[in-house]
Amino acid sequence: MKKLTIILFIASVLLGKILQAQSISEQKVILTGTRFTYPIIEKWIAEFKKTHPSVSIKLAPLGSPAADSANIRISGQDVIEKNLNPGETHVALAKYGLLAIANAKSPLVNSYKNKGLQESDINKLFFMDHISTTKEKEYVVYTREQKSCAPVSFASSYGHTFEELAGTKVKGDDKALLNALRADSLGISYNNLGYVYDVKTRKLVEGVSVLPFDLNHNGRIDADEKFYNTLDEVIAKYETTANKLLATEEVSVIYSTTKSNAAIDLFLNWVLTDGQKFNHELGFLNFNAGELDQQKLTVKNSNSSK
């Protein structure tokens, strides 16, 4: 009798796994949202499919027909709980950093090369209309026309709102913003690490310079504040230094907890474990251990609410 009980138990466990696998293979995961995250999302999906080939998962770019059927929305700005639909939750999967940048020929590159930017400089450059004392402009600020992730997060990091950003409004996405700066020798702007640096060479993209931060507010750029030579140096500094001048934000996904979808849970858990090792490759930041555990707990809690 005892032997039969054990056999039945094993059989029920195996049957449960088979049914779960069938359920996952029948469910779809469609992601859409903020464009600058697409490289890391596509990387996660490609690597995930290597070990979970039966899961139907894809990225649907904004504006594509499939985006209307997406069951995961990607956000690169702070998620406001009250703006979520009933039954929705959000989980952060990575972080990203933002830099103040200038056209490599901008006179501001030399102006701030040795002294660096402090908060007062950021306020003056990006959040006030500049009135030059000379006949010619010293710089031209470029910002996004659309109220989107990068400008909202950049402004918020320094205690401002999107509406308070000064400058010429650029149509299009963050790549269009970068191109506007590169086309103007007086241009300054902001952008995420994965666009400011070439993720293959790990060097600054052609025609762009970083306006360095004076992290200790001593009026000069010290040796430990010279970390902009490669993308990996910048990532390391952003991940290990708590300083309000280093603007960071989370890449989050928003999804419903009212509809059971084991494939979504499987993918999110994979990203928060195996997927993290791909973040740096594409210019994104990793969580520390405590932050990562909190996100895993959020996924676990969303499962229990279904």
pLDDT tens profile 166-183: 999 999 999 999 999 999
143 near 167, Cβ under 8 Å? Answer: yes
Instruction: Classify each residue of 97-114 as buried b or exposed e, where b means 16 or more C-beta atoms within 10 Å of its C-beta.
Output: bbbbbbbbebebbeebee
Look at residue 234 in the predicted model and tell me its pLDDT: 98
Look at residue 24 in the predicted model and tell me its pLDDT: 58
Look at residue 306 in the predicted model and tell me its pLDDT: 57
pLDDT tens profile 106-160: 999 999 999 999 999 999 999 975 544 444 578 999 999 999 999 999 999 999 9
Q: What pTM does this model have?
A: 0.89
Q: For a pLDDT cut of 70, what percent of the chain falls above it?
A: 88
Look at residue 133 in the predicted model and tell me its pLDDT: 44
Look at residue 253 in the predicted model and tell me its pLDDT: 98
Look at residue 7 and tell me whether its pLDDT is greater than 80.
Answer: no
Provide the mean pLDDT of the chain: 90
Q: Catalogue all structural domains in the chain, each as residue range(s) with its CATH number.
A: 27-94+249-304 (3.40.190.10), 97-248 (3.40.190.10)
pLDDT tens profile 71-96: 999 999 999 999 999 999 999 999 99
Stretch 206-231: mean pLDDT, rounded?
Answer: 98
Closest CA to 228 of 144, 125, 109: 109
Look at residue 17 and tell me whether its pLDDT is greater than 50.
Answer: no
